[in-house]
Amino acid sequence: MSREEVTSAPKRDDVQNWARPVEELKVEYRPGVRGTNVDGRRLNGAVQGFGKLWQKTYSFAGLTITPEEAIAEWKAHFGEFWPTGNKFAGSLTGIQPGEIALLDLSIGGTKLSTGVLVVYADDRSFTFMTPQGHMFGGWITFSAEPARDGSTTVQAQVLMRASDPIYEVGLALGGHRREDAFWSETLTALARHLGLESPTVDQHVVCVDSHRQWGRWRNLWHNAAIRSAWQTAASPFSLSRLSRSRNRQLSQPTPQR
Protein backbone atom coordinates (compact mmCIF):
# COMPACT_ATOMS: atom_id res chain seq x y z
CA MET A 1 0.00 0.00 0.00
CA SER A 2 1.38 3.40 -1.00
CA ARG A 3 1.81 6.37 1.34
CA GLU A 4 -0.97 8.18 -0.54
CA GLU A 5 -3.36 5.29 0.12
CA VAL A 6 -2.47 5.27 3.81
CA THR A 7 -2.92 9.00 4.28
CA SER A 8 -6.18 9.02 2.34
CA ALA A 9 -7.72 6.13 4.31
CA PRO A 10 -10.98 7.19 6.01
CA LYS A 11 -10.71 8.04 9.69
CA ARG A 12 -12.95 6.35 12.21
CA ASP A 13 -15.71 8.65 13.36
CA ASP A 14 -16.56 6.69 16.52
CA VAL A 15 -13.30 7.17 18.44
CA GLN A 16 -15.07 9.31 21.03
CA ASN A 17 -17.41 6.38 21.75
CA TRP A 18 -14.60 4.09 22.94
CA ALA A 19 -12.78 4.08 26.27
CA ARG A 20 -9.06 4.70 26.18
CA PRO A 21 -6.86 1.65 26.85
CA VAL A 22 -5.95 1.26 30.53
CA GLU A 23 -3.42 -0.92 32.32
CA GLU A 24 -5.27 -0.89 35.64
CA LEU A 25 -8.60 0.45 36.84
CA LYS A 26 -8.49 3.46 39.16
CA VAL A 27 -11.55 4.34 41.19
CA GLU A 28 -12.30 6.08 44.48
CA TYR A 29 -14.89 5.36 47.16
CA ARG A 30 -18.54 6.04 46.33
CA PRO A 31 -21.38 6.16 48.85
CA GLY A 32 -23.95 3.40 48.77
CA VAL A 33 -21.63 0.52 47.85
CA ARG A 34 -18.63 -1.11 49.45
CA GLY A 35 -16.49 -0.37 46.39
CA THR A 36 -13.85 -3.07 46.78
CA ASN A 37 -12.13 -5.47 44.37
CA VAL A 38 -11.91 -2.95 41.53
CA ASP A 39 -9.13 -0.43 42.12
CA GLY A 40 -5.82 -1.73 40.74
CA ARG A 41 -7.45 -4.59 38.81
CA ARG A 42 -6.89 -5.26 35.13
CA LEU A 43 -9.70 -5.84 32.67
CA ASN A 44 -10.69 -9.46 32.19
CA GLY A 45 -12.39 -10.31 28.89
CA ALA A 46 -13.64 -13.65 27.67
CA VAL A 47 -10.17 -14.38 26.30
CA GLN A 48 -8.77 -14.25 29.84
CA GLY A 49 -11.60 -16.28 31.42
CA PHE A 50 -11.50 -19.90 32.58
CA GLY A 51 -14.80 -21.63 31.84
CA LYS A 52 -16.91 -22.49 28.84
CA LEU A 53 -17.69 -19.58 26.50
CA TRP A 54 -21.36 -18.56 26.50
CA GLN A 55 -23.38 -16.03 24.56
CA LYS A 56 -26.65 -15.07 26.24
CA THR A 57 -29.20 -12.73 24.71
CA TYR A 58 -32.22 -11.30 26.52
CA SER A 59 -34.65 -9.07 24.62
CA PHE A 60 -38.12 -7.63 24.37
CA ALA A 61 -39.97 -5.88 21.53
CA GLY A 62 -42.91 -3.60 20.94
CA LEU A 63 -41.77 -0.21 22.24
CA THR A 64 -43.34 2.84 20.62
CA ILE A 65 -40.41 5.13 21.43
CA THR A 66 -37.21 5.46 19.37
CA PRO A 67 -34.08 3.40 20.08
CA GLU A 68 -32.28 6.57 21.13
CA GLU A 69 -35.00 7.42 23.64
CA ALA A 70 -34.94 3.88 25.06
CA ILE A 71 -31.17 3.87 25.53
CA ALA A 72 -31.14 7.38 27.05
CA GLU A 73 -33.71 6.31 29.63
CA TRP A 74 -31.87 3.05 30.35
CA LYS A 75 -28.60 4.87 30.92
CA ALA A 76 -30.20 7.46 33.19
CA HIS A 77 -31.85 4.88 35.48
CA PHE A 78 -29.71 1.79 34.88
CA GLY A 79 -29.38 0.43 38.41
CA GLU A 80 -33.01 1.13 39.29
CA PHE A 81 -34.17 -1.80 37.16
CA TRP A 82 -31.99 -4.36 38.95
CA PRO A 83 -33.55 -6.91 41.31
CA THR A 84 -33.76 -5.93 44.98
CA GLY A 85 -30.51 -6.38 46.90
CA ASN A 86 -28.21 -5.45 44.01
CA LYS A 87 -26.59 -2.01 43.73
CA PHE A 88 -25.04 -0.13 40.81
CA ALA A 89 -23.03 3.01 41.57
CA GLY A 90 -21.98 4.83 38.41
CA SER A 91 -19.85 7.95 38.19
CA LEU A 92 -21.27 11.47 38.33
CA THR A 93 -21.03 11.72 34.54
CA GLY A 94 -23.14 8.58 34.10
CA ILE A 95 -22.60 5.82 31.57
CA GLN A 96 -19.86 7.30 29.39
CA PRO A 97 -16.83 5.68 27.70
CA GLY A 98 -14.03 5.14 30.21
CA GLU A 99 -16.22 5.50 33.30
CA ILE A 100 -16.23 2.84 36.02
CA ALA A 101 -19.27 1.62 37.92
CA LEU A 102 -19.05 -0.13 41.29
CA LEU A 103 -21.36 -3.06 42.03
CA ASP A 104 -22.66 -4.82 45.12
CA LEU A 105 -24.33 -8.05 43.98
CA SER A 106 -26.47 -10.39 46.02
CA ILE A 107 -25.07 -13.88 45.46
CA GLY A 108 -26.49 -16.76 47.47
CA GLY A 109 -27.27 -14.62 50.49
CA THR A 110 -23.89 -12.86 50.51
CA LYS A 111 -22.68 -9.57 49.06
CA LEU A 112 -20.14 -9.69 46.23
CA SER A 113 -18.37 -6.39 45.49
CA THR A 114 -16.90 -5.78 42.04
CA GLY A 115 -17.34 -3.37 39.11
CA VAL A 116 -17.40 -2.80 35.36
CA LEU A 117 -15.76 -0.43 32.88
CA VAL A 118 -17.81 1.28 30.18
CA VAL A 119 -15.76 0.39 27.09
CA TYR A 120 -18.23 1.76 24.53
CA ALA A 121 -21.28 4.01 24.48
CA ASP A 122 -23.31 5.76 21.80
CA ASP A 123 -26.96 6.77 21.29
CA ARG A 124 -28.14 3.22 20.61
CA SER A 125 -25.88 1.00 22.69
CA PHE A 126 -23.34 0.73 25.50
CA THR A 127 -20.96 -2.03 26.56
CA PHE A 128 -19.46 -3.02 29.91
CA MET A 129 -16.28 -5.04 30.41
CA THR A 130 -15.47 -6.88 33.62
CA PRO A 131 -12.34 -6.65 35.80
CA GLN A 132 -10.27 -9.40 37.38
CA GLY A 133 -12.20 -11.14 40.15
CA HIS A 134 -15.65 -10.61 38.61
CA MET A 135 -17.82 -13.72 38.32
CA PHE A 136 -17.06 -13.89 34.63
CA GLY A 137 -14.62 -12.49 32.16
CA GLY A 138 -16.38 -10.87 29.25
CA TRP A 139 -18.59 -8.12 27.88
CA ILE A 140 -22.22 -7.09 28.27
CA THR A 141 -23.75 -5.03 25.47
CA PHE A 142 -27.06 -3.21 25.91
CA SER A 143 -28.72 -1.98 22.73
CA ALA A 144 -31.92 -0.85 21.04
CA GLU A 145 -32.78 -1.20 17.37
CA PRO A 146 -35.78 -0.41 15.13
CA ALA A 147 -37.92 -3.39 14.14
CA ARG A 148 -39.54 -3.93 10.71
CA ASP A 149 -42.95 -2.91 12.05
CA GLY A 150 -41.62 0.45 13.21
CA SER A 151 -41.42 -0.47 16.90
CA THR A 152 -38.21 -0.69 18.93
CA THR A 153 -36.50 -3.84 20.22
CA VAL A 154 -34.23 -3.74 23.27
CA GLN A 155 -31.70 -6.36 24.26
CA ALA A 156 -28.87 -7.24 26.62
CA GLN A 157 -26.23 -9.61 25.26
CA VAL A 158 -23.58 -11.27 27.41
CA LEU A 159 -20.42 -12.92 26.06
CA MET A 160 -18.71 -14.61 28.99
CA ARG A 161 -16.53 -17.26 30.52
CA ALA A 162 -16.53 -18.00 34.25
CA SER A 163 -13.42 -16.29 35.59
CA ASP A 164 -12.05 -19.25 37.57
CA PRO A 165 -12.84 -22.86 38.57
CA ILE A 166 -14.92 -21.87 41.60
CA TYR A 167 -17.16 -19.61 39.55
CA GLU A 168 -17.45 -22.32 36.88
CA VAL A 169 -18.75 -24.80 39.46
CA GLY A 170 -21.11 -22.15 40.80
CA LEU A 171 -22.57 -21.53 37.35
CA ALA A 172 -23.16 -25.25 36.86
CA LEU A 173 -24.89 -25.51 40.26
CA GLY A 174 -27.53 -22.89 39.58
CA GLY A 175 -25.53 -19.79 38.73
CA HIS A 176 -26.66 -19.79 35.11
CA ARG A 177 -30.29 -20.01 36.19
CA ARG A 178 -29.88 -17.13 38.66
CA GLU A 179 -28.13 -14.97 36.07
CA ASP A 180 -30.89 -15.63 33.53
CA ALA A 181 -33.48 -14.67 36.15
CA PHE A 182 -31.51 -11.50 36.98
CA TRP A 183 -31.53 -10.19 33.42
CA SER A 184 -35.09 -11.32 32.74
CA GLU A 185 -36.31 -9.42 35.81
CA THR A 186 -34.18 -6.40 34.87
CA LEU A 187 -35.52 -6.19 31.32
CA THR A 188 -39.07 -6.74 32.52
CA ALA A 189 -38.72 -3.77 34.87
CA LEU A 190 -37.18 -1.68 32.08
CA ALA A 191 -39.96 -2.60 29.63
CA ARG A 192 -42.65 -1.58 32.08
CA HIS A 193 -40.84 1.68 32.78
CA LEU A 194 -40.78 2.36 29.03
CA GLY A 195 -44.48 1.79 28.62
CA LEU A 196 -45.14 -1.94 28.05
CA GLU A 197 -47.83 -3.26 30.39
CA SER A 198 -47.23 -7.01 29.97
CA PRO A 199 -43.72 -7.44 28.49
CA THR A 200 -42.31 -10.78 27.43
CA VAL A 201 -38.54 -11.21 27.69
CA ASP A 202 -37.11 -13.66 25.17
CA GLN A 203 -33.96 -15.55 26.04
CA HIS A 204 -31.45 -17.23 23.73
CA VAL A 205 -28.40 -19.06 25.11
CA VAL A 206 -25.58 -20.58 23.04
CA CYS A 207 -22.45 -22.38 24.23
CA VAL A 208 -19.90 -20.97 21.78
CA ASP A 209 -16.96 -23.01 23.08
CA SER A 210 -17.33 -25.99 25.45
CA HIS A 211 -13.61 -26.08 26.29
CA ARG A 212 -12.23 -24.74 29.54
CA GLN A 213 -9.01 -22.74 29.61
CA TRP A 214 -7.17 -24.59 32.36
CA GLY A 215 -4.18 -22.31 32.07
CA ARG A 216 -6.36 -19.58 33.62
CA TRP A 217 -6.99 -21.38 36.93
CA ARG A 218 -4.75 -18.85 38.67
CA ASN A 219 -7.55 -16.30 38.27
CA LEU A 220 -8.66 -17.71 41.63
CA TRP A 221 -6.27 -15.24 43.29
CA HIS A 222 -8.56 -12.32 42.39
CA ASN A 223 -11.88 -14.09 43.11
CA ALA A 224 -14.15 -11.26 44.30
CA ALA A 225 -16.58 -13.64 46.02
CA ILE A 226 -13.86 -14.98 48.31
CA ARG A 227 -12.41 -11.54 48.92
CA SER A 228 -15.85 -10.06 49.58
CA ALA A 229 -16.50 -12.74 52.22
CA TRP A 230 -13.23 -11.81 53.93
CA GLN A 231 -14.08 -8.12 53.72
CA THR A 232 -17.52 -8.70 55.22
CA ALA A 233 -16.01 -10.63 58.11
CA ALA A 234 -13.48 -7.87 58.73
CA SER A 235 -15.88 -4.95 58.19
CA PRO A 236 -16.04 -2.06 60.70
CA PHE A 237 -19.48 -3.32 61.75
CA SER A 238 -18.06 -6.71 62.67
CA LEU A 239 -15.15 -5.12 64.50
CA SER A 240 -17.49 -2.75 66.33
CA ARG A 241 -19.73 -5.61 67.39
CA LEU A 242 -16.71 -7.53 68.66
CA SER A 243 -15.56 -4.45 70.56
CA ARG A 244 -18.95 -3.98 72.22
CA SER A 245 -19.03 -7.62 73.21
CA ARG A 246 -15.58 -7.32 74.76
CA ASN A 247 -16.55 -4.14 76.62
CA ARG A 248 -19.59 -5.89 78.12
CA GLN A 249 -17.36 -8.70 79.32
CA LEU A 250 -14.93 -6.24 80.93
CA SER A 251 -17.77 -4.33 82.60
CA GLN A 252 -19.08 -7.42 84.37
CA PRO A 253 -18.01 -7.62 88.04
CA THR A 254 -15.23 -10.05 88.86
CA PRO A 255 -16.47 -12.96 90.97
CA GLN A 256 -15.31 -12.81 94.61
CA ARG A 257 -13.21 -15.71 95.81
pLDDT tens digit sequence for 5-54: 444 545 667 899 999 999 999 998 898 899 899 999 999 999 999 999 99
Which of 3.40.50.300, 3.30.530.20, 1.10.580.10, 3.40.50.2300 would CATH assign to domain 37-228? 3.30.530.20
Kindly give the residue spans of alpha helices, DSSP state H, lying in 41-93: 67-76
pLDDT digit string, tens, across residues 183-205:
999 999 999 999 999 999 999 99
The whole-number average pLDDT for the span 210-221 is 96
**For 66-121, what is each residue's pLDDT tens digit?**
999 999 999 999 999 999 999 999 998 999 999 999 999 998 778 999 999 999 99
Q: CA angle, 251 as apex, 247 and 252 as ends, to 5°? A: 125
Residue 245 has pLDDT above 50, yes or no: no
Model confidence at 4, pLDDT cuts 50, 70, 90, reads very low
- Tell me the DSSP string of 117-176: EEEEE-SSEEEEEPBTTSSEEEEEEEEEEE-TTS-EEEEEEEEEEESSHHHHHHIIIIIH
